Amino acid sequence: MNRERRKQAQRQRRHYRVRKHVRGTAERPRLSVFRSLQNIYAQIINDDEGRTLVATSTLAKDLRDTVKKGGDIKAAAAVGARLAQMALAAGIKKVAFDRGYRRFHGRIKALSEAARKGGLQF
């Protein structure tokens, strides 16, 4: 149990370290990514107002049918492309990327690259 507590504390420190530098505004909202073992979630947040502007995940109705498995790189790319599509429709072009406490590789990287291909700038 002690080892698990230490890992959790390290994870929390990493998360605070990232969030200290990444802040969403009206001009440049924050693109926050969370991944679990089965799914991946992404949302664009205006931290000044505390509002979520756009959100999607592998559990969304339009992606649930196209993605077989929600926890792989293909699913993350589909979520990134769909999020970019929704953001551009809402008039959002520039975002600040918030990876949370996760490293920038694998599913997180696939989501960000798909969002960039979709037209988001960060």
Proportion of the chain above pLDDT 70, given as a percent: 99
Q: Please state the rounded mean pLDDT for residues 80-105.
A: 93
Mean pLDDT to the nearest integer, 44-49: 92
CA–CA dist 18, 13 (Å, integer): 9
pLDDT score of 105: 93
2-117 topology per CATH? Nucleotidyltransferase; domain 5 (3.30.420)
Element (H, E) at 64: helix 61-64
- Please report the pLDDT score of residue 110 as a whole number: 97
The percent of residues in the chain predicted with pLDDT above 90, rounded, is: 68
For position 22, what pLDDT does the model report? Answer: 79
pTM of the model as a whole: 0.84
Flag whether pLDDT at 95 surpasses 90.
Answer: yes
Q: How far is CA 21 from CA 17, 46, 98, in A?
A: 7, 15, 9
State the Cα–Cα distance between residues 75 and 41, nearest whole angstrom.
Answer: 10
Question: Domain segments of the chain: what residues?
Answer: 2-117
Do residues 31 and 115 touch, judged by C-beta distance below 8 A? yes
Contact 34, 98 (CB under 8 A): no
Would you state the pLDDT for residue 101? 83
Q: What is the pLDDT of residue 87?
A: 97
Q: Which pairs from 20-24 meet CB under 8 Å and 24+ separation?
A: 22/96, 22/97, 22/98, 23/47, 23/96, 24/48, 24/95, 24/96, 24/98
How high is the pLDDT of residue 27?
Answer: 86
